[in-house]
Amino acid sequence: MTRTFRFAPSPNGFLHLGHAFSALLNADLADAAGGRFLLRMEDIDTARCRPEFETAIDDDLAWLGLSWEQPVRRQSEHFGDYRAALGRLEAMGLVYPAFLTRAEIRARTADPAWPRDPDGAPLYPDDDRQLPANEAADRIAAGAPYALRLRMDAAIRIAGPLAFLETGSGPAGETGRLGADPARWGDVIIARKEVPTSYHLSVVVDDALQGITDVVRGQDLFHATSVHRLLQVLLGLPEPTYRHHPLIRDAAGRKLSKSDGDSGLRELRAAGVTPAEIRRRIGLENPLPHPTPST
Ligand code: GLU
């Protein structure tokens, strides 16, 4: 089987050294495996993603020396695929409309003892999941905005025990065949109020549709993998191998952000830094060994 890798940025800002590391690592691994390297634009957030950022991403990646297959999959052009997957989860009785506003969630979860997800956000209160179906339908008919959330406990019961193969490591050094623990996320969003899908849903649908065998991404997404494995099992999608890589940090040890200039690829390039120097800075100067063909 051809191993297939992807770099999947959101075109809501300019790329920095951390993105360069992820993109180059994916491309190097694809090259070493004689596999494919794809680029995917994760632009479901149509309010924040812009075509000029997408053009800048193409430009920066090409400058780094990368090439990728065409056409590039742009998530905003595939809402129908995510809708179909959502329909399957709905048919399984695993999805409910969630009406609480941000302010209501904040107020309901203000107690410091309220449980939090691995990203530190409070778990969604269970008000809406208890709502009788006719009452929810009335509210929707009356025009109340709602997101769709997953009934996590029921989903886990259906899916059974979940695991994934980590060939890199999680933030605490987790590696090898690992148990997935999606319960830590509570009733995750499956479709947002203003967007008919979510990050988690579109990522698993696309990884399957694009035949991704190897998901290589930053350790900040390590815990999200538990949700991805759950959705893959519920939707009957194949299981990729995961490799989470350490994040590139600034001199003060902070995670890089799209808004700080000194690690931005555009700024570095304008300052005369070469692609070879970028590779040196992020520790990817040596080509990865090609696997020896077995005879
Ligand atoms: N679009 C996500 C990001 O920019 C990455 C998604 C993934 O690699 O699964 O953080």
Picking from 200, 276, 283, 205, the residue whose alpha carbon sits closest to that of residue 247 is: 283
Determine the atom of ligand 1 nearest the C-alpha atom of 207.
9
Element (H, E) at 74: strand 73-74
Antiparallel, parallel or unpaired: β 163-166 and 147-150? unpaired
Domains of the chain from N-terminus onward: 4-282 (3.40.50.620)
CA atoms within a 13 Å half-sphere pointing along the CA-CB vector of 68: 27
pLDDT recorded at residue 103: 96
How many other C-beta atoms can be found within 10 angstroms of the C-beta atom of residue 3? 18
* pLDDT bracket for residue 110 (50, 70, 90): very high
Ligand 1 interacting residues, C-beta cut-off 6 A: 8-10, 42, 203, 217, 221
The larger pLDDT score, comparing residue 291 to residue 251, is at 251
Specify the ligand 1 atom closest to the Cα of 217: 8
Most ligand 1 atoms within 8 A of CB, residue of 43, 199, 243 to mutate:
199
% the chain with pLDDT above 70: 97
Residue nearest atom 10 in ligand 1 by C-alpha distance = 9
Across the range 111-140, mean pLDDT stands at 96
Integer Cα distance of 215 and 166 in angstroms: 10
Tokens of 81: 């695929």
Q: What is the pLDDT of residue 261?
A: 66
pTM as predicted: 0.95
The stretch 73-101 carries a mean pLDDT of: 98
Tens digit of pLDDT for each residue in 15-55?
999 999 999 999 999 999 999 999 999 999 999 999 999 99
Mean pLDDT of 147-174: 98
Task: Quote the ligand 1 centre to 42 CA distance (angstroms).
Answer: 7
Q: How many CB atoms lie within 10 A of CB 259?
A: 9
Residue having the nearest C-alpha atom to atom 5 of ligand 1: 8
pLDDT at 30: 98
Nearest CA to ligand 1 atom 3: 9
What is the predicted pLDDT for the residue at 72? 98
- The rounded distance, in Å, linking the Cα atoms of 17 and 14 is 10
What is the per-residue pLDDT across 36-45, written as a single tens digit (0 to 9) for each?
999 999 999 9
Residue 88 to residue 274: CA distance in whole angstroms: 48
Q: Alpha carbon of 11 to those of 58, 246, 248, 266: distances in Å?
A: 10, 22, 19, 14
Residue 295: band (very low, low, confident or very high) from pLDDT cuts 50, 70, 90: very low
Residue whose Cα lies nearest atom 9 of ligand 1: it is: 203
pLDDT at 288 over 90: no
Ligand 1, from 40, 42, 45, 210: best to mutate by most atoms within 8 Å of Cβ?
42
Q: Closest Cα to atom 7, ligand 1: which residue?
A: 8
Strands (DSSP E) contained in 167-291 are: 176-179, 189-191, 214-218, 241-245
Our CA angle for 284, 287, 288, nearest 5°, is: 95
pLDDT value at 167 more than 90: yes
Q: What is the pLDDT of residues 180-200, one digit of tens each?
A: 999 999 999 999 999 999 999
